[in-house]
Amino acid sequence: MITAAEYRAWAEESLEWALIATKDSSRGAFIQWAELWLELASRAERLTALIEDRSKEPTPTARKHRRSSVRPRFDQLAFDFAKI
């Protein structure tokens, strides 16, 4: 996963390109890229925080056993009538 720091570095690089751009349209495009990288950095930070919070939650040690909703047919039951 790309880190927030990497996105921020790309945003900084985009702004540097915007400073040296000779055309207004290029400058605007680089600034838009920088805004996008900063938005993605924010999202990455939120995702990382969410993952860290979830990893701190206790994990269940045992799950409740649910009965199967499928029941065997009568002729599949193993029962010895001679023992009765």
Q: What is the pLDDT of residues 43-70, one digit of tens each?
A: 999 999 988 887 777 666 666 666 666 6
- Confidence grade of residue 36 (pLDDT, cut at 50, 70, 90): very high
Residue 44 near residue 10 (C-beta atoms within 8 A): no
- For CA atoms 24, 26, 30, 32, give the dihedral sign: positive
Rounded to an integer, the average pLDDT of 13-32 is 97
